Amino acid sequence: MDLQNIGKQSGLRFKILLAGEDGVGKTSLILRFTHNIFDITAKTKTIEGDYITTNLNLFGAPVRLDIQDLKEESWSEAMSYFVKDNDGILLVFDTNSAKPVKTYLDTWLKSIRDINAEIPIVVLGNKSDLPVKANIKKISQYISSSGLHFIQTSAKTSENVSYAFKLLVSEIVKSKAAQKKRTETRRTDGLDVIFNRYKL
């Protein structure tokens, strides 16, 4: 069976969430990834609150991705629900902002980890097309010391946008493979075939 068919039959489907304060570019990253558009007025045309569905190829296998976008105020109301209900998180900050990034990341990571210690997270420094005010070298070291990946993205120019989503999906697959090893139970869905094929 080829991988395209495995993906179709497996119905691989993950739910992810974009986290981070208002204005960092979450809605813009989703619109760039799913519709390849960048709209400077995106903030007013937000898709917040709902899932937006798209498909991507992972190792040649189609994966359905349900992406959730939120308003900042929704976080405080239902953080626990959102973190539990998703398979992975893209945590976004704005590299053009002069706000202290370490404090920002610590706060977000702690709130997420308190709810789910293992949910895969990829950190995005968005707006790389604008002058970078954040100390990228220090931030990047700090993020890798927390065991996470860090990517600089631009929803405006598209830089690294698909890569960021795909990296998160592959982190989700890896994490599910690790869970599978721990539980030692045999899966009957398509993930099993992908794990075996790629020796995950």
List contacts with ligand GDP (CB under 6 A): 22-28, 40, 42-43, 126-127, 129-130, 154-156
Which of ligand GDP, Mg ion, none does residue 155 bind (CB under 5 to 8 Å by kind)?
A: ligand GDP
- Please tell me the distance from the alpha carbon of residue 17 to that of residue 89, in angstroms, as a whole number: 5
Rounded to the nearest whole angstrom, what is the least distance from the CB of residue 62 to ligand GDP in the complex? Answer: 27
**Strand boundaries in the chain, DSSP class E:** 13-19, 51-58, 61-68, 88-94, 121-126, 149-153
Exposed, middle or buried by CB within 10 Å (0-12, 13-18, 19+), for 129?
middle
Query: Which parts of 24-43 interact with Mg ion (CB under 5 A)?
Result: 26-27
**What backbone phi and psi angles, to 5 degrees, belong to 3?**
-65, -30
| Interaction mask 134-173, Mg ion, x per CB under 5 A | ----------------------------------------
Which of ligand GDP, Mg ion, none does residue 164 bind (CB under 5 to 8 Å by kind)?
A: none
Rounded to the nearest whole angstrom, what is the least distance from the CB of residue 38 to ligand GDP in the complex? Answer: 7
Nearer CB in complex with Mg ion: 32/176:
32
**What backbone phi and psi angles, to 5 degrees, belong to 49?**
100, -30
Which of Mg ion, ligand GDP, none does residue 130 bind (CB under 5 to 8 Å by kind)?
A: ligand GDP
Give the residue closest to ligand GDP by C-beta: 25
Q: Chain centroid to CA 41: how far?
A: 23
Per CB under 5 A, does 116 bind Mg ion?
no
Per CB under 5 A, does 46 bind Mg ion?
yes
Residue closest to 156 by CA, chosen among 38, 72, 43? 38
Report the greatest alpha carbon distance in the chain.
52
Rounded to the nearest whole angstrom, what is the least distance from the CB of residue 99 to ligand GDP in the complex? Answer: 14
Q: Are 121 and 146 in contact (CB under 8 A)?
A: no
Residues that bind Mg ion (CB under 5 A): 26-27, 46
